[in-house]
Amino acid sequence: MVKEQEKESSGEIKTVLGKGTKINGDIVTEGSVRVEGEITGKVEAEGDVFIGESGKIETEIKASKVVVAGNVSADITAAEKLEILASGFLKGNIITDKLVIKEGATFIGSRDKLDSEPEKNNSDSKNKNQ
């Protein structure tokens, strides 16, 4: 099932953060990135971001498509699509036009459409759906 998700990805995976690797800082890439390790920092990709089952991200993700199979505590902006797989856990606010949540997945947060981005200091939107 994971391989199918990678095939749908619009950008070639140019960066892979392997299991057991930890980064405390930001990652910016023109391509796509696969995360099996841990990142505490922003991830910004012109392509896609795939968080594998062993992957963990804390803070913020901006990408074309985002697939969550691991543990994410971050606000996400996905220009095309955000998908949370059955093994995925996402706690954060999301902005995307297309959202897919598979049975068994966990999502705690709020969702807004891409064209109606909320105000940054609106505390009510952060507590919606919790």
- Maximum separation of any 2 CA atoms in the chain, in Å: 39
User: Which residues 6+ apart lie within 8 Å of 123 measured at CB?
Assistant: none
For position 84, what pLDDT does the model report? 97
For position 115, what pLDDT does the model report? 75
Residue 42 sits at the vertex; the CA angle it makes with 15 and 31, to the nearest 5 degrees, is 30
The reported pTM is: 0.78
For the chain, the domains span 2-110
| Residue recorded with tokens 């969702």 | 111
Residue pair 14/28 in contact (Cβ under 8 Å)? The answer is: no
- 51-67, pLDDT tens digit by residue? 999 999 999 999 999 99
User: Which residues 6+ apart lie within 8 Å of 32 measured at CB?
Assistant: 9, 10, 11, 12, 13, 14, 15, 45, 47, 48, 49, 50, 63
- 23-53, pLDDT tens digit by residue? 999 999 999 999 999 999 999 999 999 999 9
